Structure formats: structure tokens, C-alpha cells
Structure 1
Amino acid sequence: MGSEGPLAPAVAVTVHVTGFKKFHGILENPTETIVSNLTEYVKKKGLPKGLTLGSCSILETAGQGALASLY
């Protein structure tokens, strides 16, 4: 069956999650909502062993909203 072999050593994985702010024509971007709430959700529900939530960032989509940070 293949499952009889020795267990592989545990590997730690860190996940970094990004979402985008709303942009032209979109009233609410679901990725912004998900990323904004993810840290609290993980605190309540936890993550599988070996998995760590590294960061949750909301990014500007493009165009006018990003100009200030570029200058």
C-alpha cells in the first residue's frame, strides 16, 4: 500500500497571505475581508501542526492608490 514505510520528518511551513484593497468598479474585494479576519480566525481555530501564519497584508491594487508609496 505504501503507507507502511517510515514517517517523514516533520517540516515547518510558514504561510504569508496577501489580499488586495477594493479597486475601480468593485465595491468590496473579498480578499481584503478574508485577510483582515484571518489572524483572529487562526487564533480561535488554530492551524495544523507544523503550519504557521507568517503575515497577512492588504496591498494596493494598482494605479492612483499606489502612487504615494512609489514616490
Structure 2
Amino acid sequence: MLTAKELMQLEDFLGMEQNCAKTMSYFGANIQDAQTKQLFQQIAQKSQQHFQTMTKHLNAGQNLQ
């Protein structure tokens, strides 16, 4: 079982990961260089995957309690 402090840290992490995905998507959509655009899009996708994976695991843990 997680402490209140650990849950707050996880919430902070999830917020930062989601913010990273949004920021990288924004940069990817607004840059002209094709290679750099692709890099930002890949980073955004990876951040979104991290967010979804963490959320899935946290939800699964709640269902076990």
C-alpha cells in the first residue's frame, strides 16, 4: 500500500509526464525542420505511453484493494 506522500509524488510525476507530452506535441506541430519535428513527435508519443502505462498500473493496484 502506498503512503499519502508516495501517491502525491506519483500524481506529480503523472502531471509532469502529461505536460511533457503536450509540450513536445506543440513543438512538433510548430516546427518546420522535418527531422526535428519527427523527434518531438516521438518524444511526445513516448511520454504519452509512459503516462498511460503508469495510469494503468495505478488503476490495477486500486482494483486489488
Give yes or no for TM over 0.5: no
TM range (shorter): 0.3 to 0.5
TM-score norm. by structure 2 comes to 0.39
| Bigger proportion of residues as helix | 2
Return the index of the structure with the highest Cα Rg: 1
Report which structure shows greater RCO (CA 8 Å, sep ≥6): 1
TM-score norm. by structure 1 comes to 0.37
